Structure 1
Amino acid sequence: MNATERECLELQLLEMEMLFSMFPNKEEIVLEDTSSVLRVQRYLEGICESLPPRLDFSLYLKTEASSIKLQMHVSLPHNYPKAEPQLFVRSSALDRQQQNILNKSLESYIMSLDRGELCITNAAQWLQDNISSYVQSAKPSEEAESCVDEITDTFHRMWIYSHHIYRQELRKKILDCAKRLNLTGFCLTGKPGVICIEGLKGQCEEFWRDIRYPNWKHISCKHTDSKQVTGNLDAVRLFNSFEELQFAAHGDYGLRNDYHMDLGQFFEYLKQRKSEHIFQILFGIEGKS
Structure 2
Amino acid sequence: MATTTRECLELQLLEMEMLLSMFPNKELILENANSVLYIRRYLEGIRESLPPVIEFSVFLNIQNSEVKAVMHVSLPQSYPQEEPQVFVRSVALDRQQQNFLNKELGSYIRSLDRGELCISMAVQWLQDNISTYIQNSKQNDEPECEIKATTYTFHRMWIYSHHIYRQELRKKILDYAKRLNLTGFCLTGKPGVICIEGVKEQCEEFWRDIRYPNWKHISCKHTESKEVTGKIDDLRLFNSFEELVFTAHGDYGLRNDYHMDLGQFLEYLKQHNCEHIFQILFGIEGKY
Band of TM-score, shorter chain: 0.7 to 0.9
* Cα distance, 1:75–1:187 mapped onto 2, change above 3 Å: farther
Q: CA deviation at 1:204?
A: 4.5
What letter corresponds to residue 123 of structure 1 in structure 2? A
What does residue range 15-94 of structure 1 map to in structure 2 within 5 Å?
15-24=15-24, 26-94=25-93
For the aligned residue pairs, the C-alpha RMSD in angstroms reads 4.2
TM-score, normalising length: structure 1: 0.73
CA deviation profile, 1:78-100 (whole Å, cap 9, x unmatched)? 33223332322222322233223
CA contact (8 A) 1:178 1:184 kept: no
1:6 corresponding residue in structure 2: 6
Matches of 2:37 and 2:64, distance apart in 1 = 36
8 Å Cα contact 2:198-2:232 kept in structure 1: yes
Q: Please tell me the residue identity of whatever aligns with 1:7.
A: E
Closer/same/farther in 2, CA of residues 65 and 76 from structure 1, 3 Å limit = same
Q: Describe the SS at the equivalent of 1:226.
A: strand
Q: Is the 8 A contact 1:179 1:242 kept in 2?
A: no
Secondary structure of 1:118's partner?
Answer: coil
* Change in CA separation of 1:129 and 1:236 when aligned onto 2, cut-off 3 Å: farther
Give the Å deviation of 1:154: 1.9
**In structure 2, do the counterparts of structure 1 residues 248 and 83 end up closer, same or farther at CA, with 3 Å as the change threshold?**
farther
| Closer, same or farther: CA 157–43 of 1 in aligned 2, 3 Å | same
User: CA separation in 2, counterparts of 1:111 and 1:173?
Assistant: 33
Q: Which residue identity is paired with 2:6?
A: R
Distance 1:264 1:157 in 2: 23
1:78 maps to a residue whose letter is Q
CA distance in structure 1 between the aligned counterparts of 2:66 and 2:220, rounded to whole angstroms: 43
2-structure distance, mates of 1:249, 1:45: 39
Equivalent residue pairs, number: 280
Per-residue CA deviation, residues 64-86 of structure 1 (Å, 9 max, x unaligned), is: 34453222122323332233323
* Secondary structure of 2:79's aligned partner: coil
Matched, 1:165 2:163: yes
Structure 2 counterparts to residues 265-280 of structure 1, below 5 A:
265-280=264-279
Residue aligning to 2:129: 130
Tell me the CA shift for residue 145 of structure 1: 4.3
Question: Could you tell me which residue of structure 2 aligns to residue 108 of structure 1?
Answer: 107
TM-score, normalised via structure 2 length: 0.74
Q: 1:159 to 1:139 in 2, by over 3 A?
A: closer
1:273 Cα shift? 3.9
Aligned counterpart, 1:264: 263
Distance 1:282 1:13 in 2: 41
Which 10-residue stretch deviates more, 178-187 or 50-59?
178-187
Identify the range of structure 1 (123-132 vs 173-182) with the bigger mean alpha-carbon deviation: 173-182
Partner in structure 1 of residue 193 of structure 2: 194
Change (3 A) 1:103 1:186: farther
User: Residues of 2 paired with 1:105 and 1:50: CA distance?
Assistant: 36
Deviation at 1:12, TM superposition (A): 1.3
User: What amino acid is aligned across from residue 286 of structure 1 in structure 2?
Assistant: G
Q: CA deviation at 1:190?
A: 4.8
Gap regions ≥5 residues in structure 2: none
- 1:97-153 CA-to-partner distances (Å, cap 9, x unmatched) read 322322232233323333332211111011011111101266789875444423x23
Closer, same or farther: CA 204–11 of 1 in aligned 2, 3 Å: same
1:107 match: secondary structure: helix
Tell me, yes or no, if the aligned pair for 2:13 and 2:36 is still in contact at 8 Å: yes
Alignment check: 8 A CA contact 1:174 1:211 kept: no
Note closer, same or farther for the CA distance 1:158–1:131 as it changes in structure 2 (3 Å cut): same
**1:135 is paired with a residue of what secondary structure?**
helix
State percent identity of aligned pairs. Answer: 61
**d(CA) in 1 for partners of 2:26, 2:212:** 34
Q: Which amino acid aligns with 1:223?
A: H
Separation of aligned partners in 2, 1:58 and 1:208: 15
1:93 partner letter: A
**Which residue does the alignment assign to 1:225?**
224
| CA displacement at 1:247 relative to structure 2 | 3.8
